[in-house]
Amino acid sequence: MRPSSLFTIVLAAVLVSADRLTFRGCQDKVKESLVSPPRGWVQHAPAPQDQIIRLKIALAQPSFGELEEHLLASSDPAHERYGMHLSKEDAHTLMAPSQDSIDIVSEWLSEHGIGEEYLHRSAAKDWITIHVPVSLAEDMFNTQFHVYKHVESGDTFIRTTQYSLPSVLHDHVDLVQPTTMYARFKPMSNTLHFMGGITQEFEFSAVTGSITGPAGNAINATCNYEITLDCLRELYNVGSYTPSGTSGNKLGITGYLDEYANFEDFQNFMKLENPAAVGSNFSVIAINGGQNNQTLSAAGLEANLDVQFAFGMTHPTPGTFYTTGGAPPYTPDKMEPTNTNEPYLDWLDYIMNQTDIPQTISTSYGDNEQTVPPSYADRVCKGFAALGSRGISILFSSGDGGVGDNDEDPSTTNCTANNGTDATTFLPSFPASCPYVTSVGATVNVPEVAANFSGGGFSNYFARPSYQDSVVKGYLSSIGSEYAGLYNSTGRAYPDVSAQGVNYVIMYRGAPTNVSGTSCSSPAFASLVSMLNDARLQANMSTLGFLNPLLYSRGVAALNDITEGSNPGCGTKGFKATKGWDPVTGLGTPNFGKLKDLVLGNSTQ
């Protein structure tokens, strides 16, 4: 993980609190601190002392390097251990803290009156969750909490700009959050675009009849301005392939922030798009108080889009929708845990303790990377690595702000660093920037070009992984000094791949609706990955797991290179799509027929 411009992560005795002796006679030292709250957040009021807050403590993971080595080996098609995934128990062993860390942190908590009966430990014992009043949290972490308000949305959180730990704990605790985390982790549907209200302009030709797709097959010309299941099958060369439904393969979709996938809309979508699937349904698993409101007026645009296209494409593959606890506004008069807004940790805590997990999982949520503490981003990213080591393919939308924030108008220049300098900078998205997930950008039209909202760029937190070195260096060489200083040329580059992202036809609250965004692209690409896993399972082969080492090596020959378009933002024209990998469409869009031959070992490429 790269050092953050937002935080000072103190690993040695650099900053010492005012002569306060605490646990084992040690002085407190600042663990993490902010220069100031991120842009758009203001201090609203002191946090009520008796308000209960939920905090998560991450213990150090001394064996993660071994897990990462296994992940990369099992994901590299040229490696002798390709496809040899870890069991749940093996992954937990490599994620676990040392017994010394468990013991000393337990002792410290007990000193503050927090015994084992008040703790929740994650499956690998690497996370501890506590519920404490603000007054106790302020004493434990030698800080002051305040209510902070997000000016644009009105969201309110209890947060601080600095917290400390006894020096003896610094090697044992990686982070405590949410303390200095101001990320809102919004759905990418913030910029899903309804027809008639779309902010980006696209030109659609008035061609009738059929047009030729990248695989040389005929595609209905209506796919040039409206995307259906048949369009994706034709465009991405699915042909007559139908999953078995009994291979043991499953597909998962995650939902957060009170986004509900509606059963009635799902059935009406299938009547229009896939009559063979009428009467089928998907499973719903609730996590951390997640709800399953089936009132039609409560149907979520994001949730409906994801389940309709992902499960519609892959029928009869069993589908699971995860609904993870909502994010209500903070209300001081209700003595309940505040909105912690850490959905990935809640979901990871649950999913990592399951034995039967869908082999492909798509998520369409994220936020501006710089609003996420780098320590938090690192640990969440390691959770995705652990899932990949178990043979799970994790896909994320790349974001809808081009090279800027998802909230930004591409015509503005309000893209500033949150390090006190207010310097203009491109704004990468997280978790799309995590090197252990597959990030999916967006295209439009046939022939395909980059959708101009497609999120892409370079992480400021994560270094570029070796599997990207060749193609990314080639791209950087081609653009020379363009945008120098606005992005981190050594960072993890994204997206990895792309898929259609404009004008998907879904059913929403009883009526057809057209929507756009990389929220469309990720479940579309994930549905094809799910079918590839089905094909491998039918052939008694392992699942694909972490996709990127395959995609960046042999897989690139089975993708359609996108060479036109760009992703403007931050007052610039953004990066350009070009031959080979680019930070707009990645390596390109899928050719399922070629990918299937490749993963089954039938490819001559």
272-316 pLDDT per residue, tens:
999 999 999 999 999 988 999 999 999 999 999 999 999 999 999
Q: What is the mean pLDDT of residues 48-70?
A: 96
* pLDDT bracket for residue 185 (50, 70, 90): confident
604: pLDDT strictly greater than 60? no
Most confidently modeled range among 6-20, 90-104, 201-215: 90-104
Q: What pLDDT is attached to residue 327? A: 54
Phi, psi of 71 (to 5 degrees): -55, -50
Please report where in the chains the tokens 């007026």 appear, as a residue: 297
The two three-digit tokens of residue 79, written as one number? 């490696």
* pLDDT bracket for residue 196 (50, 70, 90): very low
Per-residue CA distances from 457 to 56, 61, 518 (Å): 30, 29, 15
CATH architecture of 187-599: 3-Layer(aba) Sandwich (3.40)
What span, in angstroms and rounded, lies between the C-alpha atoms of 400 and 402? 6
What span, in angstroms and rounded, lies between the C-alpha atoms of 146 and 161? 9
The annotation status of 114 as a binding-site residue, yes or no, is no
DSSP codes, 131-176: EEEHHHHHHHTT---EEEEETTT--EEEE-SEEEEEGGGTTTEEEE
CA dihedral 109, 112, 115, 117 (to 10 degrees): -100
Residues designated as active site: 302, 306, 519
The annotation status of 582 as a binding-site residue, yes or no, is yes
The two three-digit tokens of residue 379, written as one number? 């640990």
Would you tell me how many other CB atoms lie within 10 Å of the CB of residue 9?
17
* pLDDT bracket for residue 21 (50, 70, 90): low
Task: List, in sequence order, every residue forming a beta bridge with 177; answer none if it has no partner.
Answer: 56
- Residue 473 DSSP one-character state: H
Three-class HEC string of 72-131: HHHHCCCCCCCCCCCCHHHHHHHHCCCHHHHHHHHHHHHHCCCCHHHCEECCCCCEEEEE
Q: What pLDDT is attached to residue 22? A: 77
Q: Which residue in 326, 329, 327 sits closest to 44, CA to CA?
A: 329
The annotation status of 171 as a binding-site residue, yes or no, is no
Enter the pTM of the model. 0.93
Per-residue CA distances from 150 to 146, 306, 331, 418 (Å): 13, 28, 15, 15
At CA 412, angle to CA 408 and CA 416, rounded to 5?
A: 70
Query: Which amino acid type is present at position 380?
Result: V
Q: Is the dihedral of CA 58, 417, 421, 154 positive or negative?
A: negative
Packing angle, helices 88-95 and 374-389, rounded to 10: 150
What span, in angstroms and rounded, lies between the C-alpha atoms of 267 and 464? 43
Phi, psi of 82 (to 5 degrees): -55, 130
Q: Which residue in 316, 183, 326 sits closest to 260, CA to CA?
A: 326
The two three-digit tokens of residue 231, written as one number? 């369009």
The annotation status of 510 as a binding-site residue, yes or no, is no
Q: What is the mean pLDDT of residues 464-472?
A: 97
**β-strand 449-450 against 438-444: which pairing, if any?**
antiparallel
Packing angle, helices 518-538 and 301-314, rounded to 10: 30
Q: What pLDDT is attached to residue 447? A: 94
The two three-digit tokens of residue 470, written as one number? 């060749």
Distance of CA 201 to the CA centre of its chain: 27
Phi, psi of 302 (to 5 degrees): -60, -50
**β-strand 251-255 against 283-287: which pairing, if any?**
unpaired
Three-class HEC string of 406-451: CCCCCCCCCCECCCCCCCECCCCEECCCCCCCEEEEEEECCCCEEC
Q: What pLDDT is attached to residue 343? A: 80
pLDDT tens for residues 516-538?
Answer: 999 999 999 999 999 999 999 99
Within the chain, all domains assigned CATH 3.40.50.200 are found at 187-599
The two three-digit tokens of residue 138, written as one number? 């302020």
Most confidently modeled range among 1-5, 254-258, 441-445: 441-445
